[in-house]
Amino acid sequence: MSEVVLPDDPGLGQEVQVDYPGYRSTRLRAPKRSLVSLPEELHPLDGPVFGEDTIAELDGDLTSQHSGEPLGERIVVSGRVLDEDGRPMRGALVEVWQANAAGRYRHEVDQHPAPLDPNFSGAGRVLTDAEGFYRFVTIKPGAYPWGNHENAWRPAHIHFSVFGRAFTQRLVTQMYFPGDPLFPFDPIFHSVRDPKARELLVSQFDLATTTAEWALGYRWDIVLGRGARDTTPLEEQPS
Amino acid sequence: MKTPSQTVGPFYAIGLCRSNEHELVSPDDSSAIVLRGELLDGEGASIVDGMIEVWQPVERKWGRCGTHPDGTFSFVISRPAAPAGEAPHLDIHVFARGLLKHQRTRMYFPDELDANAADPVFAGLGEADRARLVADREDGGLRFDIHLQGARETIFFST
C-alpha cells in the first residue's frame, strides 16, 4: 500500500485532508466532487441551544458513573471553547467518548482483546460556563490496535463533539496527549498536514489544573470557526 | 487558527447516541413527517457506522440518528420555516468512520417547486445537481439517500 503517513505540507492549509490515502476507510467515503460554496450571507445559521436539562449530574465525571472507580490513571481534562476571534463560547455542548485505560471501548464492534472495565462507560458531556470553560474528570485512555495497516496502533485520544452557535461551528475531533510515541505512525493524526494546525489537536500537561495527591491535569482549548453574521458578543445575547 | 476536524470513528455511539434524539417533533403531532434515508459509500454499500444530524435553523430544532445495521436512518420532522430569501430545507451534517471531516448538505421538499426555483443555493446549481437535493415521496413520508461518492454523489457544501 501507499505510504501510511505523508510528509508535512503546510501549503495545504490548516484543514484536514479528507481524502488522506493512508487512512484506508477514506477511499470509498471521502467525497470526490468539489464542495459547492454557499453565499456568504447564508453561512451563519443559528444552531440548537442546549440547556442544563441536557446534562445529568455525573456527566462531567467519567470516574463516578458506577459503584466503583475505574482502573487507570485519573486525569482532569479542561480548557476553553473559543471562536476564531478569541471570544468564549458560553453554553456550548461538549460531548466526549473514549477507550478505557486498557484501550478498549464499551462498544459491541470493538474486538480488541483487552478487558472491559465494569466501572467505566467512557462517555461524558458538559456545557461550557460563562467564560467558555469545560472540565472533565476521567482516566487516561489506552492506545489500541486497528486494522488500517500492518501493526497499526492509534495514539491515546479522547473524542470530542462540540456545538457552537452557528451551523458552521460544528466540530467533531480528537484530543491527543503530549509526546505520544505513536504520533509519527498515525495517519488520522497526520491527515492534518500543517504541523502547526496538527499541534492544536494535542493537549498540554498543566500543573495549574493538576490536583495534588489526586490527578494530573491536561489543558486543551478548542477553537471553532466564525459565525459570520453573529457579531454580537455572546455575553450580550439573551440567554 | 481553528481546531482541525478528525473522524467520528466507529464507536461514536458511546458518546453521541445515548438517548433518542431523532424526533424533532412528536410522531403524534399533526405536522409530523417521517424522513427515511440510507447512507452509502462509493460502491453503493450501506454505511453502518455513520451518523446524520438534521437542523431546522429557523425553529432551532435539531436531531441526530446513528445509521442502523442496514445503513438506514430515520427522523420525524416538521416542514421547516423558510429562512429569509430561501426555500424551506433541512440542513444536514454527515459523519462516519472514514470521513475525516463531516460533510454538509441540504434537503429540499418535492412539493415546493416555486420556492425551490427561487432559492439562491438551489437555483445556482445545474439541473441534475438540483434534483439530488430534493427528497422523494415514500410511504406518505419523505426519502433522502446520501451517497458519499459515485455516480450519484450527493451535493456537499463547503463550510
Nearest CA in chain A to B47: A29
* Per-residue model confidence (pLDDT) at position B159: 75
* Per-residue model confidence (pLDDT) at position A227: 67
Whether the per-residue pLDDT at B68 is higher than 60: the answer is yes
From the candidates A87, A106, A149, A159, which is the catalytic residue?
A: A159
Burial class (CB in 10 A: 0-12, 13-18, 19+), A222: buried
Determine, for residues B158 and A37 on separate chains, whether the beta-carbon distance falls below 8 Å.
Answer: yes
Q: Indicate the range of A116-125, A151-160, B12-21 predicted with least confidence.
A: B12-21
Q: Is A222 helix (H, G, I), strand (E, B) or coil?
A: strand
Whether the per-residue pLDDT at A228 is higher than 80: the answer is no
* Structure-block grid coordinates of residue B37: 434515508
Does the annotation mark A33 as catalytic? Answer: no
* Per-residue model confidence (pLDDT) at position A41: 60
* pLDDT mean over A206-218: 98
User: Half-sphere exposure of residue A72, counting CA atoms within 13 Å on the CB side?
Assistant: 30
Does the annotation mark A176 as catalytic? Answer: no
Structural domains of chain B in order of their starting residue, each with its CATH number:
12-147 (2.60.130.10)
Q: Is B8 helix (H, G, I), strand (E, B) or coil?
A: coil
Does the annotation mark A149 as catalytic? Answer: no
pLDDT tier at A40, thresholds 50, 70, 90: low
Measured CA to CA, the distance from residue B143 to residue B141 in angstroms comes to: 7
pLDDT tens, residue by residue, B96-149: 999 999 999 999 999 999 999 999 999 999 999 999 999 999 999 999 999 999
pTM: 0.95
* Per-residue model confidence (pLDDT) at position A45: 58
Backbone angles phi, psi at A195, to 5 degrees: -60, -30
Whether the per-residue pLDDT at B87 is higher than 50: the answer is yes
* Per-residue model confidence (pLDDT) at position A12: 83
Residue A131: name the closest of A232, A239, A234, A238 by CA: A234
In angstroms, the Cα distances linking B30 to A222, B25, B79 are: 41, 10, 11
pLDDT tens, residue by residue, A132-189: 999 999 999 999 999 999 999 999 999 999 999 888 899 999 999 999 999 999 999 9
Interface test with B, best of A28, A37, A199 (most B CBs within 10 A): A28
* pLDDT mean over A90-95: 95
Q: Find out whether A92 and A163 touch, Cβ atoms under 8 Å.
A: yes
Measured CA to CA, the distance from residue A84 to residue A82 in angstroms comes to: 7
Determine, for residues B11 and A84 on separate chains, whether the beta-carbon distance falls below 8 Å.
Answer: no
Instruction: Provide the 10 A C-beta neighbour count for residue B151.
Output: 7
Q: Is A42 helix (H, G, I), strand (E, B) or coil?
A: helix
* Per-residue model confidence (pLDDT) at position B19: 86
In chain B, % of residues over pLDDT 70: 100
Q: ipTM of this complex > 0.90? A: yes
How close, in Å, is residue B86 to chain A by CA atoms?
Answer: 9
Measured CA to CA, the distance from residue A172 to residue B7 in angstroms comes to: 7
Q: Which of A28, A167, A197 lies closest to B41 in CB terms?
A: A28
Determine, for residues A14 and B4 on separate chains, whether the beta-carbon distance falls below 8 Å.
Answer: yes
Determine, for residues B7 and A23 on separate chains, whether the beta-carbon distance falls below 8 Å.
Answer: yes
Amino acid B114 reads D
* Per-residue model confidence (pLDDT) at position B139: 94
Residue A163: name the closest of A230, A226, A91 by CA: A91
User: For chain A, what percentages of helix, strand and coil (3-state, to nearest 5) are there?
Assistant: 15, 25, 60
Whether the per-residue pLDDT at A238 is higher than 50: the answer is no
pLDDT tier at A237, thresholds 50, 70, 90: very low
Burial class (CB in 10 A: 0-12, 13-18, 19+), A110: middle
Measured CA to CA, the distance from residue B45 to residue A10 in angstroms comes to: 34
Q: Which residues of B touch A26 (CB under 8 A)?
A: 98-100
Q: Find out whether A164 and A49 touch, Cβ atoms under 8 Å.
A: no
Q: Which residues of B touch A186 (CB under 8 A)?
A: none
Residue A170: name the closest of B2, B80, B66 by CA: B2
Nearest CA in chain B to A191: B100
